[in-house]
Structure 1
C-alpha cells in the first residue's frame, strides 16, 4: 500500500508542480527555497491567456476570468481593435493579467458593483478587488477558516457532553451516538486544521459591497457584513450533518439564496441567509449550480443542474422537482438567464437552452472540443473558460 505523503512533502510536490506550470507558461523559474503558494504572487506570464481558466464573469463590457496558479485575466470587449501589450489567447485577442497576491488555483469570481469584485479558490482563499479586477488583496483564507471550524466543532462537542453528563442513565444511552458523532466531528476538524488550509472555496455571491457569502467543500459557508474585513462561519444554519460539499451559490435582490450541493441537495434561503431549508430533489448526484427565472407575478422557477447533464426544475408552488429531458450526458457547469429561459453550458462547450415554458431543453450550439469550466456573456458573445484559456462564441439567437 502506498503511504500518504506528509504535508511537507505535499508542499514540495506543489512547488515542483508550480515550476512545471511556469515552464509551460513561458517563464524561466529561478532556484529558490520553497514558499507557500498562498504567499507567492501570481507570476505575470506571457502565455497566461492559454492557461487553464476555471471560471468567468462579466461586468458591463468587461469579462474577467480566473484560473490556475492565481491567474486573473480581464478584457474590455468595447475597446474595439486589438491594441497594446498583454497575453494573447488562441484567437489573438489581447487579455491583461491582473496583479494577484497568491499563486493558488482560483475557482470562481463575482462582482458586487462595477469596481468591486470577489474571487475564491483553493486553500480557502478569498480575494477582493476595488479597481475592477485589475489588482487584488487577500481578505480570508483556509487558516482563518480552520480556526472557526475547529472552534464551532469544539463548542458543539462541549455542549453535547454537558447535556450527556446531566442526563439520567436511560437518556444517556439514547444520547451516546450523538455524542460520539460530535466528538468525531471535532477530531476531524482538528486533523484538517493540522494538515493546513487544504479545503477549497468553490463559489461566492454578494448582495452589495458589504454583505456576501462564500461556500466550499465539506459544508463550508462563511458570511461577511463588513466588506470582507471579518467572516463568520454559519454552517449551523444549514441541515448538512454529513458535511457534503457546496458547489455553487446563487443570490438575487429578493433575498433568495440557493446553494447547489452534493447528493442532489439544494439549500434555500429567502431572507439573505438568516435561515435555510434543505430541498431534496430526488436526485443523488452532484449539482454544480442553480438558475432562476421569474414570471410576471415575480414567482420563481428554480433550476438545478450538474453531473451528466442532469437538470431539475421546481416551478412556483410545486411540491416536487421535475427532471428535464437532457440532450447531453456531459455535465453542465454554468448558466445564465435570458428572460424566461435559461442557457447552460456543458463541459464540452455545448450550449443548451430551456424553452419559454421551462419544460424543454435543447442544444443550440456544437461542442468546442477542449474542456469547458464556465462562461460569461458580453453583448452578443459568449466567453468560455476552460483548458487552453478563454474562447469566444457568438451568442445563439
Structure 2
C-alpha cells in the first residue's frame, strides 16, 4: 500500500534543502563571477585616479632618486626622493599588484593577482605584461605534454580549468633578466629571460597540499620560502633543491629575513616571530608585546631587523624580543623600506606614510 506519510516531504526539511541548494548555487556563481572579474581586470588598464596616494598599497621599491609603489586596482605610483608627492603611472592591468622590485634605476618587475607579471625598462614610467595566469597554465601544459609527465599534465589542466585567478605574492629579482615569483596554492616559477619563458620550481619544493607561499628571500646561496600553516623551505644550493624546515608554529608566516650565514627570522600571523641561528635546526620564540599580524620586514642599514604589523606599529628585533619603535597610531601597514636619511617609508591601507624613527636605539 502506498504510504502517504513517507511520500510527503516535511515543509521545514524542504526549506532546509532549498536553502542549501540556493547557497551552493550562489557560491558557484560567486566563484565563477570572481574568476571572470579577475580575467576582465587582467585585460583592462588601471583607471586614472587622484586617490592613488590614499589607497591600499602593497609594495614599494627604491629606484634611483625616486620610489615606485604598487597596490590595489593595478595602481602604480611614482614619488619624489622624499616620498611625499605621488603621481600615478599607466598600468596595463586592473588587478591588485602585490609586489615590485628593481635591479637598477631602469629595470624592474611587478607581480599581482591573476598570475600577473609586469616589466619596466624605463624606471617605472611604462609597463608591459610578461605573464598572466592563462598563459602560464597553457605553457605548463605544453611543456608537461612534451615530457609526458602525467603529474605535471594533471597540475596544468587543473590550473587551466580552475581559472586564472591565483595571485603571485612575492618576487625575488636576481639579475636584470632573472627572477623568481611565488604565490598562492604553491605557485613558484623562475624566468631567466626577463619573463619570456618560465620554469616551474614546484617539483623542487615539497608542498603536496599547495600551501600559499608568501615570502621568498635570498642571501648568498641560501634561498628561503615561507608560507601558510608554518610552511618553510630552505635551499642551500641557490634554489636547485629545497629542504622542508619544521617550525614550532603552525600559523602563516608573511615575511622572513636571512642574516649572516645561518640566521633566519620568520614573522606572521598574530605577531608570532621565530629566530633560528642554525638554518632552522632549532628555533627561539621571540617575545612580542603586540599580538597583531606582522606583514612586512626589512634589514636597516644599522643591521637591525625592523617589522611592520596590522596594528600600525614598527617593531625592532633586539636579542630575543620585539620592541615598538613608534608611538603614534598608524593605519595597518603592508610594506616598507629605508629612506636615504635612515627614516622609513611605509605603505598602508590608506597610502604611504613617512616615519621618523631616528637611529632605532
**Is the pair's TM-score, using the shorter chain for normalization, greater than 0.5?**
yes
- Aligned with 1:285 (options 251, 267, 270): 251
Deviation sequence 1:153-194 (CA, Å, 0-9, x none): 7799x767xxxxxxxxxxxxxxxxxxxxx69x93x7534422
- In structure 2, the gaps of 5 or more residues are 1-19
How far apart, in 1, do the equivalents of 2:333 and 2:279 lie? Answer: 34
**Structure 2 counterpart SS, 1:263:** helix
How far apart, in 1, do the equivalents of 2:144 and 2:185 lie? Answer: 13
Are 1:75 and 2:79 counterparts? yes
Are 1:384 and 2:351 counterparts? no
Q: Which moved more, 1:100-109 or 1:264-273?
A: 264-273
How far apart, in 2, do the equivalents of 1:38 and 1:395 lie? Answer: 39
Deviation sequence 1:286-325 (CA, Å, 0-9, x none): 001111222xxxx231101111101111114773111111
How far apart, in 2, do the equivalents of 1:372 and 1:340 lie? Answer: 21
Matching of residues 73-222 of structure 1 within 5 Å = 73-77=77-81, 93-150=84-141, 186=154, 190-222=157-189
After superposition, the Cα gap between the structure-2 partners of 1:211 and 1:332, relative to the gap in structure 1 and judged at 3 Å, is: same
Matching of residues 328-347 of structure 1 within 5 Å = 328-338=290-300, 339-347=302-310
Deviation at 1:148, TM superposition (A): 4.7
How far apart, in 1, do the equivalents of 2:72 and 2:136 lie? Answer: 22
Deviation sequence 1:66-109 (CA, Å, 0-9, x none): 11111011112259xxxxxxxxxxxxx32121121111100111
How far apart, in 2, do the equivalents of 1:8 and 1:245 lie? Answer: 21
**C-alpha contact 1:70 1:100 (8 A) present in aligned 2:** yes
**Structure 1 counterpart SS, 2:351:** coil
CA RMSD of aligned residues (A): 2.5
Query: Which one scores higher on RCO, CA 8 angstroms, separation ≥ 6?
Result: 1
After superposition, the Cα gap between the structure-2 partners of 1:245 and 1:7, relative to the gap in structure 1 and judged at 3 Å, is: closer
**Structure 2 counterpart SS, 1:243:** coil
How far apart, in 1, do the equivalents of 2:35 and 2:159 lie? Answer: 15
Deviation at 1:395, TM superposition (A): 3.0
The aligned length equals 333
Q: 1:274 aligns to what?
A: 240
Deviation sequence 1:213-255 (CA, Å, 0-9, x none): 0000111100011122211112001111111110111123x12
